[in-house]
Amino acid sequence: MLIKKPSDVWSSDITPRATYLRRRDFLAALVTLPITGRMVTTTDALTPRQAVTSYTNYYEFGSDKGAATTNGGAFKASPWSVTIAGECAKPGTYTLEDILKPHPLEERVYRMRCVEGWSMVIPWDGFPLANLLKRFEPNAKAKFVEFTTANRPQEMPGIRRHVLNFPYVEALRMDEAMHPLTILAAGLYGDTLLTQNGAPLRLVVPWKYGFKSIKSIVKIRFVEKQPLNTWQDANPAYYGFYANVNPDVSTPSYSQATERRIGEFFMRRTLPFNGYADQVASMYTGMDPKRLY
Ligand SMILES: Nc1nc2c(c(=O)[nH]1)N[C@H]1C(S)=C(S)[C@@H](COP(=O)(O)O)O[C@H]1N2
Ligand SMILES: [Mo]
């Protein structure tokens, strides 16, 4: 059940739940998630569900924003399992149920910012990644956590076109992975994830550019050395490891100072750490902000 306190800033009042529930045809295929709590980190209006589920980046299905919606039909998000490997006491392969069951889902309303200059506000349904990682008892050598996406050329036509070196890989430093704002999401807007949003399980790291939020995770590995993430491999001049949202550091072809919130007309100023500086900036004290991009 959704616990709704009257004091909550219920930002979806701007996009009432009834509005998206009206899309019955579409929702018929989805499973409504049991959500036990909620956390609102912004008073900004939610991005309409229609935009969140149709305007996506998922290169395994193609490079345009509609590709994963159009070409996602063959993708099977069930059954699913996740392999846990590397520097921990309990490596192994866990079913999606093993992964989800001990961790009640809560709704987290997060701002998301893409390096291409657009942003959204999305009500994710997930749980803190830290709670899951602790179960595998990472050891002292575990300095980073690496995530890998499914690599199924038969089901993911973008892989066959080799736009990137697949499988897609992303990673976080251990403290970032353990930060309470970092979640694994299994749904959004109260329903299980659609293929294009990373079904059945994806990462959400709201103070970083969107590419860090890896979709359809099949492997989590604890490692000692900083992994090479897919986008850094593809274009090291453009993409860094940390990818913290920073309005003061431009990419070679885009200023990162402003963003277009999907559905809005005027540009917004981009906030350092995407507005989450109070909660995360202390993890980076003493580091060169340019390296953090
Ligand atoms: N496996 C995988 N994960 C991915 C991507 C991708 O191409 N493949 N794109 C990333 C980028 S660039 C962004 S902006 C976010 C977008 O998430 P959304 O489409 O759910 O908004 O997913 C990220 N996760
Ligand atoms: Mo992105």
Task: Give residue 150 CA to ligand 2 midpoint distance, Å.
Answer: 18
Q: Which residues are placed with Cβ below 5 angstroms of ligand 2, an ion?
A: 57, 114, 210-211
Instruction: Examine the pLDDT at 34 and tell me if it is beyond 50.
Output: yes
Q: Residues with beta carbon inside 6 Å of ligand 1?
A: 56-60, 112, 114, 149, 168, 197-198, 210-211, 213-216
- Mean pLDDT of the 277-285 span: 97
pLDDT score recorded for residue 2:
38
Question: Higher model confidence: residue 291 or residue 47?
Answer: 47
150 CA: nearest ligand 1 atom: 1
Ligand 1 pocket: which of 124, 215, 239 to mutate (most atoms <8 Å of CB)? Answer: 215
Residue by residue, DSSP assigns the chain as -----TTS--GGGSS-HHHHHT-HHHHTTSPBP-EEEEEE---SPPPPHHHHTTS---GGG-SSTTHHHHH-TT---SS-EEEEEESBS--EEEEHHHHHTTS-EEEEEEEEE-TTSEEEEEEEEEEEHHHHHHHT-B-TT--EEEEEE---TTT-TTGGGTSS-SSPEEEEEHHHHTSTT-EEEEEETTEEPPGGGTTT-EEE-TTBBGGGS--SEEEEEEESSPPPPHHHHH-TTT--SS-B--TTS--SS---SEEEETT-SS-EEPPGGGGTHHHHGGGGTTS-TTTT-
Q: Work out the percent of the chain whose per-residue pLDDT is above 90.
A: 81
- Give per-residue pLDDT as tens, 123-168: 999 999 999 999 999 999 999 999 999 999 999 999 999 989 999 9
Instruction: Examine the pLDDT at 239 and tell me if it is beyond 70.
Output: yes
pLDDT score recorded for residue 291:
76
- Mean pLDDT of the 52-80 span: 97
- Give per-residue pLDDT as tens, 92-134: 999 999 999 999 999 999 999 999 999 999 999 999 999 999 9
Q: Return mean pLDDT, the chain.
A: 90
- Give per-residue pLDDT as tens, 257-273: 999 999 999 999 999 99
- Mean pLDDT of the 32-50 span: 89
- Mean pLDDT of the 205-210 span: 98
Task: Give residue 58 CA to ligand 2 midpoint distance, Å.
Answer: 9
Closest CA to ligand 1's atom 20 = 197
pLDDT score recorded for residue 260:
97
Domain map of the chain by residue range?
Answer: 35-47+79-148+169-292
Which architecture, in CATH terms, is 35-47+79-148+169-292? Alpha-Beta Complex (3.90)
Task: Give residue 138 CA to ligand 1 midpoint distance, Å.
Answer: 27
pLDDT score recorded for residue 3:
37
